[in-house]
Structure 1
Amino acid sequence: MLKSVLSWYDSTVDRSPDTSSGWPAIYASIALGGIFGLVSMAAALAVAIPATVVTWISVLVLLTFFGKPRKSLVVEGKKLTVEIMKTVAKILIKEGNLVAAVCAVLGYFLLVRKDESD
C-alpha cells in the first residue's frame, strides 16, 4: 500500500512538475499517515488483547476470592468486560490518531523536501 501511494504521488508530480501547489503531497501524506495509524493500532491491539485478558481474569479471580456469589460474579464479569473493551478501544483510537497525525505531517515535509531536491 505504501508503494502504491508513493508511486501515485511520483506519477502525479511527474505529469505536472510546474505546479507549485502542494495538494498531491497533502493527499499522499494523509494516506501515508492513515496507513501508519492503522498499522500502529493493529500492533497495539496485538499487545493489548493478552494484557486485557490477563487483567480481566485477575479481577474475576479476586472477586471470587472475596466471596462473590456466582450470579453476581457473572453480572460483574459482563460489566467488567464492557468497561475494559471501551477503555481499550478509546486508547487504541487515540494513539492511532496520534500516530496518523505525526506520520502525515512528517510525510508531507519529506515529500515536499524530496520534490525540492529533484
Structure 2
Amino acid sequence: MANVEEEPEIAPTSPTHPPSSYTLLLKIMSKRRTWVCSFVLVYGILLTSSWNFLKSLLSWYKIQAQSSTSGWPAVYASVLLGFVFGLLSMIAALAVVVPTVLVTWITIVVLLAFFGKPRRILVVEGRKITREIFSFVIRILLKEGNFVAAVCAVLGYFVLVRRNSEGD
C-alpha cells in the first residue's frame, strides 16, 4: 500500500463568531472620535505636504512687500493662502465623507430590498440615489471649503498686513 499524505482538515470559521480582529476593527471604526481623528490626521498630512508651498508663498510675499508700498501683495498672498486651506479642508473632509456616503447608500438600498423592490428597480433606484447623494455631498463640500477659504483669506490678510506694518 502506498503512503498517502493526508492534508489536515481546516476547521471552517463559524459564521456566528467573526474573528476577533474584525470585531475590534468594527468597534473602533464605529466611534465618532475615530472619524474625527482620521479627519485631523488627513488634514495634518495634507498641511505638512504643502508646507513647502506655503513657505515659498510667504517668501514671495516678503520680497514683494519690501519692494511695494501698496497692500496688493498681501491681498494676493492671502487669497492664495485661503485657496490652499480651503482646498485642503475639502480634501480632508473627503476622508470622512466617502465611508459615510457608502454606508448611507448601502443602508438605503438594503431598505429598498426589504420592502420587496425587484432587482431591476433596485439597480435603477441605486443609480438615482448614488447621483443624489454624490451631488448633495459635493455641494456641501464646496460650501464648507469656500467658507474655510474665505475665513483663512481674511485672517491671512490681517496677519500679513500686521506683519508688514511691524516690519517697517
Q: Normalised by the size of structure 2, how large is the TM-score?
A: 0.67
Q: CA deviation at 1:4?
A: 1.2
**1:15 correspondence with 2:67:** yes
**1:3 correspondence with 2:55:** yes
Where does residue 65 of structure 1 map in the other structure? 114
Q: CA deviation at 1:75?
A: 0.4
- Aligned amino acid, residue 22 of structure 1: G
C-alpha distance in structure 2 between counterparts of 1:56 and 1:47, whole Å:
15
C-alpha distance in structure 1 between counterparts of 2:71 and 2:102, whole Å:
46
**Which of the residues 120, 135, 142 maps onto 1:86?**
135
Where does residue 147 of structure 2 map in the other structure? 98
SS of residue paired to 2:81: helix
- Aligned amino acid, residue 56 of structure 2: S
**Which of the residues 97, 100, 111 maps onto 1:48?**
97
Q: CA deviation at 1:15?
A: 2.8
Q: CA deviation at 1:11?
A: 1.1
C-alpha distance in structure 2 between counterparts of 1:4 and 1:76, whole Å:
49
- Aligned amino acid, residue 81 of structure 2: L
Structure 1: gaps (5+ residues): none
Count of residues paired in the alignment: 115
Q: CA deviation at 1:13?
A: 1.3
- Aligned amino acid, residue 64 of structure 2: T
Over the aligned positions, Cα root-mean-square deviation in angstroms equals 0.7
Q: CA deviation at 1:14?
A: 2.2
**Which of the residues 28, 47, 72 maps onto 2:77?**
28
Give 1 or 2: higher helix fraction. 1
Q: Deviations over 1:46-105 (max 9, x none)?
A: 110000000000000111111110000000000000000000000000000000000000
Higher RCO (CA-CA < 8 Å; seq separation 6+) = 1
